[in-house]
Structure 1
C-alpha cells in the first residue's frame, strides 16, 4: 500500500465544496460515486515518494496565500459533465509544482491543465448531454475560495487522506470538505 499512487486535489471553502458535492451526489451514478467532489491537480504521483511530496507541499503552501477561482459553467465530457473553472492562480501553482516533479509525471499529468470538478461520469452520452444543457441554461458563475491542498492515496477506487496542506492564513479542513 505504501507504493499506491498519490493524488493531489484542491482544498476549497466549505460552501463551495458542499455546492459541488451536492451536484455530484445528484448526478453521479451512485454505484460509482466512491469519493466526494474534488478538483484534481495531479492524478498519479509516486506513493513511495510520500515524504518528499509532503515536504514540498508543506513548504509551498506555507508561502501561498489563499486565492479565488471562478466556476464558469458546465463542460460536456462525452459521457459526463464537469463544472469548469477559470483559475490562473491555481494554474500557476500547479505549474510550479509540476516543474519540481517533472520526472514523476505521467502522460495524463503532463497534459494541459483544465481545472474542473466532475459531477457526472460514465453515463450514456444522451443523458450527459441533457444534464449539460439543463445546467447550462441556468448556470450563474460563482467564486470558490482555494484554501489549500489535499493529498490522497489511491486505493483502487476509494481514496485515503494522507495529508492536508492549508495555504498561509487558511483554516485546516476535514478531508474533502472545507473549513472545520
Structure 2
C-alpha cells in the first residue's frame, strides 16, 4: 500500500508500438535529468492518496468492463517550453467524464476541467528549442492510430512517480 499522504496520478497505458514511438522521442528530446518516466497520457494529476483502497477497487471494476480505447494521434502541440502529441478519442473523453463525475468532490480544479489528451515528448526546455522541435516534428507528422490498453495508478513523490498498479482493459476479439 502507498503512503496515504502522497497524491495519486492516473494515466492511460498505451499499446506497445505507440509507447515505443513516444519513448524514443522522449529519450532524444527530454532533458535527461527530468526524463525519469516513460511516455504517458495523464488523466488525473492529483487524486487523494487517502482513498487509495477505494480508488483501486473502482478502477479494477471499471477495467473489467472496458475494452481497449481507440485513439487518434492527431497533431503536434507547442507547449511553450516543450512539445506534445495531441490525442483524440471520443471513447477516452467518455471514460474521463465518467471518472470525473464519480470523483468530483475530491478533484482539484485542474482535474475538474475538460481534459485535452496529449503525450509530452519534450518539456522544461528553452522556448526556442521547443519551437524548433515543434517545427521539425510538425513537418514530419502523419496522423496515426493507437490503443489505450489500461489505466495506471502512480504515487507522486515530489518529482519521481512510483508505479502502484496497472488496470488492464479486457480484450475483445
TM band (smaller chain): over 0.9
For 2:150, the equivalent position in structure 1 comes to 148
- Distance in 2 (CA, whole Å) between partners of 1:141 and 1:169 is 24
Residue 162 (structure 1) shift: 1.1
Q: Which secondary structure does the structure 1 equivalent of 2:4 belong to?
A: coil
Q: Which secondary structure does the structure 2 equivalent of 1:113 belong to?
A: coil
Q: 5+ unaligned residues in a row in structure 1: which ranges?
A: 171-180
Say whether residues 1:116 and 2:126 are aligned partners.
Answer: no
Q: Which secondary structure does the structure 1 equivalent of 2:37 belong to?
A: coil
Selected match of 1:41 from 29, 40, 43: 43
Q: Which aligned pairs between 1:1-180 and structure 2 lie closer than 5 A? A: 1-169=3-171
Q: Which secondary structure does the structure 2 equivalent of 1:160 belong to?
A: strand
Residue 110 (structure 1) shift: 1.2
Q: Deviations for 1:63-86, whole angstroms, at most 9, x for unmatched residues?
A: 111121011111000111001011
Residue 138 (structure 1) shift: 0.9
TM-score between the two structures when normalised by the length of structure 1: 0.91
Q: Which runs of 4+ in 1 moved over 3 A?
A: none
Q: Deviations for 1:108-167, whole angstroms, at most 9, x for unmatched residues?
A: 111221000111111111111110010000101111111110111111111111111111
Aligned residues: 170
Q: 5+ unaligned residues in a row in structure 2: which ranges?
A: none
Q: Which secondary structure does the structure 2 equivalent of 1:101 belong to?
A: helix
Q: Deviations for 1:76-116, whole angstroms, at most 9, x for unmatched residues?
A: 00111001011111111010000000011111111221000
TM-score between the two structures when normalised by the length of structure 2: 0.95
- Distance in 2 (CA, whole Å) between partners of 1:122 and 1:12 is 23
